[in-house]
Amino acid sequence: MVIHKAISPVLALSILALLVVSCPCGYGRSALFHESFEVACGDLPCNWRLLEGTATLVETFHAGEHALELSENARIQTNLSAVWIDQDDHVPLTVGLICSQGSTLAFTLTIDNQGTTYTATGETDGSWSFDERYIESIEVRLTPVQNAPYRSQEAIRLEVQLNGPGECILDDLRILSADIVECLG
């Protein structure tokens, strides 16, 4: 003999409310790569190379936390490992930053599509609203400069270039999946 018990409407609504409240709204994409600039290997974060200009690890306004300051048209690069992306019209990239007015950052991903290598680029617009530096979180969409067949491919290198006068301080750099999960919260 099987006994079926109905779940009470109050319990069902409580469970639904708990699920909605615990949904991480605004964070529906997973981080494929995350650099917090906390681990130093000499003057640079580990696994980063300085190609041009000046790059210096600096302390953020949170005591003991670090960020990377780029100046003199700095260009830095890191090799990526196991950053698999789908060919899409963009690859979301977010970064917390403080920049001088007129400075822009260009991001270049080198992507390997089953032996064919191409680059995808994106740039901030430099429309900082103050003469001094301030913090803004942006999203740069990287668009391939040449089309590749739709299949999963590996991002193998990331390069960041400072353009214009002044400097930029970067923190919390992330390459995100293109998949967006909607949240009800």
| pLDDT value of residue 72 | 87
Residues of the chain whose pLDDT is less than 50?
Answer: 2-4, 7, 9-26, 130-134, 145, 181-185
Look up residue 177 and give its two tokens: 């999946």
- Nearest in space to 160 (alpha carbons), one of 134, 121, 117: 121
Which domain CATH number covers 28?
A: 2.60.120.260
| pLDDT value of residue 37 | 93
pLDDT in tens, 10-32: 444 344 333 334 444 445 678 88
Looking at residue 64, its amino acid is: G
Q: Give how many domains the chain has, as a whole number.
A: 1
Residue 122 placed within a domain: yes
| pLDDT value of residue 63 | 80
Three-class SS of residue 19? Answer: helix
Dist. CA 99–CA 94, nearest whole Å: 15
DSSP, res 43: T
With beta carbons less than 8 A apart as the criterion, state whether 157 and 79 touch. yes
Dist. CA 64–CA 38, nearest whole Å: 9
| pLDDT value of residue 34 | 92
| pLDDT value of residue 65 | 87
Looking at residue 18, its amino acid is: L
Residue 1 placed within a domain: no
H/E element, 184? none
Which residues in 45-69 are b (16+ Cβ under 10 Å) and which e? beebeeeeeebebeebeeeeebbbb
| pLDDT value of residue 35 | 94
| pLDDT value of residue 91 | 77
Residue 182 placed within a domain: no
Residue 3 placed within a domain: no
- Nearest in space to 70 (alpha carbons), one of 168, 165, 166: 168
- Enter the pTM of the model: 0.73
Domain that holds residue 50: 9-176
